[in-house]
Amino acid sequence: VTAGPALSTTRVTDLAAPAAQAVIEYTWMKIYNGKTSNACSNMPRFGHAGLLDQKQMSNLMSLLLDPKSPVNQ
């Protein structure tokens, strides 16, 4: 069962590249409050609702975006 878009669409090979900034900002906002980009989103508002703190959201971002992450292998 697919719960969202393929993670390969968010893969970033160089986090410092200017092109990666848009992906990083979108991913952060989607985790913080998924309803900002889609009012009908079923994704929880992890940051907005206090379900995850800033450190936990940063860790999740690392898991999703780091080229060395198991998610991106």
Q: Are 37 and 22 in contact (CB under 8 A)?
A: no
Structure tokens at 1: 């069962």
11 vs 53 pLDDT, higher one: 53
Which residues are within 8 A (CB) of 62 and not within 5 positions of it... i.e. 6 or more apart? 69
- The pLDDT of 55-59, averaged and rounded, is 93
Whether 1 shows a pLDDT value over 50: the answer reads no
pTM to 2 decimal places = 0.71
Whether 43 shows a pLDDT value over 80: the answer reads yes
